[in-house]
Structure 1
Amino acid sequence: MADSRRRVSLKDLAQELGVSIATVSRALRSSPEIGKEMQQRVKDLAQRLNYRPNPFARSLRRESPRVIGVVMPNLVSHYYAAVLDGIEDEAAKAGYSVISANSHEDFAAEARAIDNFISLHVEGIVACLAQDTTDYSHFEELAAMGIPLVFCGRTCLPDRFSSVTANGDEAARQATQHLIDTGSRRIAFIGGPNHLDMVRRRKHGYLEALRDNRIAIDRTLVACDRIDYNVAMKAVGQMLARPDRPDAILAFNDTITFAAFAAIKHMGLSIPDEVALIGFTDDAHAAYVTPRLSAIVDQSHLMGVTACRMLLRNIAGDKAVCREVVPQQLVIRETSAKRRDLL
């Protein structure tokens, strides 16, 4: 039963009746796709629970600006802020405004954001999965309702939705190869949750480089856990405390990269002579630490632009499921080369 203290949503009606949000939405519109009996059940429940369509949503359907929704895992980070910036720039060119939501890497917050976007009748959505998300039913609801959705960065349901990703596998392979070429041999990979496709791609590239160079894979040098500064710092500290510690680290993203950087410093080890480091992170932060950080840099603004263009094509009626890859760039600075004569 819906909580009487808050506005009743389409989702509340759907849960009460045991049907999809799409069915409720269509029934309230008296769509011929829904039988008369179900239409009446939905309308009766809506009246009993005092369901009121969102007036802002109605205004969006009648008037400009047209609106798309964006949900990102961490809008405080430069990467996701730059992706959002790219989406907003491209949306503005097409006469759209953007409503953004921060999931804070939390599944429940992500699902609420999608539900809110549905209630607001946005014309389409760009999403990047929260690290906690393993249930994709809230995205499947969008497909059932015909609401266009494009994934950016972290993706799921590749047969159902278009996506824009980076070439993380190839970038990780190049970075690992650079570490090998400049003297590292015990190279660790510090990643996020294994169910994220972005983690799997980057770990795959790292492992491929080790195999290509006939370096034995040591599973104790692979730590994939939560994307969290303290969790990553603890994992790196434990590795570095071992007598057979790693002599290089490839870090999955900016949070993990700077946690690894801090852990190496905390252990009193020199970078790169004792432990080399390359991280997937944004170029601005990487250039202003000492030593300056070798980094795998995303074209994050371009990823946002590309995702928005794909979404606008979907909104215009193009139903094709597309996948585009925006390449990353390996920028070599001071933290990665043990033997600078090999550069």
Structure 2
Amino acid sequence: MVTNKRRTSLKDIAQELGVSIATVSRALRSSPEIGAAMQEKVKELARKMNYRPNPFAQSLRKEAPRVIGVVVPNLVTHYYSAVLDGIEDEARKAGYSVISANTHEDSELEVKAIDNFINLHVEGIIACLAQDTRDYSHFEEIYNMQIPMVFFGRTCLSDKFSCVTANGDIAAQQATQHLIDTGSKRIAFIGGPNHLDMVVRRKHGYLEALRENRIPIERDLVVCEKIDFDWALEAATRLLQMPNRPDAILAFNDIITFAAFTAIKQLGLRIPDDVALIGFTDDVHAGYVTPRLSAIVDQSYEMGTETCKLLLKNINGDSHIYKKIVPQKLVIRETSAKK
């Protein structure tokens, strides 16, 4: 038997057994028109070939809806909702509907979401990794089944899938340089898990700026562990209670940014005079706090449209692996320049 390298169809099972597609379909539905022995033979082969029925298909003659599945780590944040808006608008133009799944930063929920999308026979999948995902076997399965897939933001298996990312390394370097140029001397970086490529890029930019300015890298000022408000609040508080505390913080994303902002305020420190702050966050919420937040802003809607465009190329037969970068913007407001 040939090892399955793509999503198994009724036709594949029929060809393997030398029977018609209609016979296979009836056997899988336990139709009395098909003998018990043939039913068992069909069902056994279907299990071995990892066949998954398509609940959207109303009949063999009726075309299933054109659907794309999207997996995001945290749908309630502005970044992911804006990316999803971009995906939905681009998909709609091409006649596709979008189903989204929120993993809540949980790799087990991510695996279940991918499995559900396979069972639903979506035509393609877009995904951003949950922060604790280290095993990529569920994505390997997607690749082996030849289901079109594109990553955005946090990515993996770059030799197998196209991806859309931001220039977080350059943006972090520019932000750190701005802090140095405006009077900050001991700049801390608070990030997420070190295995995430997004964390690696942003931390690299921060470190490069320190090296270029011949500022010693202090390990105690680089704290990377989790994308979680309570953890980030505690981490920022610890940093700011050090005998020789940092006088600036570069924060990895919106959750960590506002946790750091809260820690500074709770300790009665002034922003930016005592502690300057720049965060990777959305432009909308950065203007709502006082003082208004200097921020590295994603073009998240554009990231969504570009990701969907690459997936549609893949669906339409383009097997090239694309690496698209959507640049971020450094927006200077009131939290970063010391007076």
TM-score using structure 1 length: 0.86
Matches within 5 A, 1:255-270: 255-270=255-270
Which residue in 1 is equivalent to 2:100? 100
Which residue in 2 is equivalent to 1:30? 13
Following TM superposition, by how much is the alpha carbon of 1:324 offset from its aligned partner in structure 2, in angstroms?
0.5
Judging changes above 3 Å, is the alpha-carbon distance between structure 1 residues 31 and 307 closer, same or farther for their aligned structure 2 residues? farther
Figure out how many residues of one structure are paired with residues of the other and give that number: 316
Which residue in 2 is equivalent to 1:185? 185
Matches within 5 A, 1:300-315: 300-315=300-315
Judging changes above 3 Å, is the alpha-carbon distance between structure 1 residues 58 and 225 closer, same or farther for their aligned structure 2 residues? farther
Give the counterpart letter for 1:171 in structure 2: A
The SS at the match of 1:335 is coil
Judging changes above 3 Å, is the alpha-carbon distance between structure 1 residues 327 and 320 closer, same or farther for their aligned structure 2 residues? same
The SS at the match of 2:131 is coil
Q: Contact conserved, 1:248 with 1:277, CA < 8 A, in 2?
A: yes
Query: Aligned partners of 1:52, 1:323: CA distance in 2, in Å?
Result: 31
Are 2:213 and 1:230 aligned?
A: no
Judging changes above 3 Å, is the alpha-carbon distance between structure 1 residues 83 and 169 closer, same or farther for their aligned structure 2 residues? same
Q: Contact conserved, 2:8 with 2:52, CA < 8 A, in 1?
A: no
Give the counterpart letter for 2:271 in structure 1: I
Instruction: Please give the root-mean-square deviation of Cα atoms over the aligned residues, in Å.
Output: 2.5
Query: Aligned partners of 2:257, 2:147: CA distance in 1, in Å?
Result: 36
Greater Cα shift, 186-195 or 27-36: 27-36
Matches within 5 A, 1:95-244: 95-244=95-244
Query: Aligned partners of 1:88, 1:20: CA distance in 2, in Å?
Result: 35
Are 2:61 and 1:78 aligned?
A: no
Query: How big is each residue's C-alpha offset from its partner over 1:101-126, in whole Å with a ceiling of 9 and x where there is no partner?
Result: 00100000001000000000000000
The SS at the match of 1:30 is helix
Which residue in 1 is equivalent to 2:272? 272
Q: Contact conserved, 1:249 with 1:278, CA < 8 A, in 2?
A: yes
The SS at the match of 1:277 is strand
Greater Cα shift, 219-228 or 54-63: 54-63
Give the counterpart letter for 1:143 in structure 2: Y
Q: Contact conserved, 1:75 with 1:81, CA < 8 A, in 2?
A: yes
Q: Contact conserved, 2:6 with 2:146, CA < 8 A, in 1?
A: no
Judging changes above 3 Å, is the alpha-carbon distance between structure 1 residues 71 and 57 closer, same or farther for their aligned structure 2 residues? farther
Judging changes above 3 Å, is the alpha-carbon distance between structure 1 residues 34 and 174 closer, same or farther for their aligned structure 2 residues? farther
Which residue in 1 is equivalent to 2:24? none
Following TM superposition, by how much is the alpha carbon of 1:63 offset from its aligned partner in structure 2, in angstroms?
3.4
Runs of at least 5 residues in structure 2 that lack an aligned partner in the other structure: 20-38
Identity %: 71
Runs of at least 5 residues in structure 1 that lack an aligned partner in the other structure: 1-18
Give the counterpart letter for 1:269 in structure 2: L
Query: How big is each residue's C-alpha offset from its partner over 1:191-212, in whole Å with a ceiling of 9 and x where there is no partner?
Result: 0000000000000000000000
Q: Contact conserved, 2:162 with 2:322, CA < 8 A, in 1?
A: yes
Which residue in 2 is equivalent to 1:327? 327
The SS at the match of 1:292 is coil
Query: Aligned partners of 2:42, 2:132: CA distance in 1, in Å?
Result: 33
Query: How big is each residue's C-alpha offset from its partner over 1:165-203, in whole Å with a ceiling of 9 and x where there is no partner?
Result: 000000000000000000001000000000000000000
Q: Contact conserved, 1:26 with 1:33, CA < 8 A, in 2?
A: no
The SS at the match of 1:56 is coil
Q: Contact conserved, 1:193 with 1:226, CA < 8 A, in 2?
A: yes
Higher Cα Rg, which structure:
2
Query: Aligned partners of 2:54, 2:156: CA distance in 1, in Å?
Result: 30
Greater Cα shift, 180-189 or 21-30: 21-30
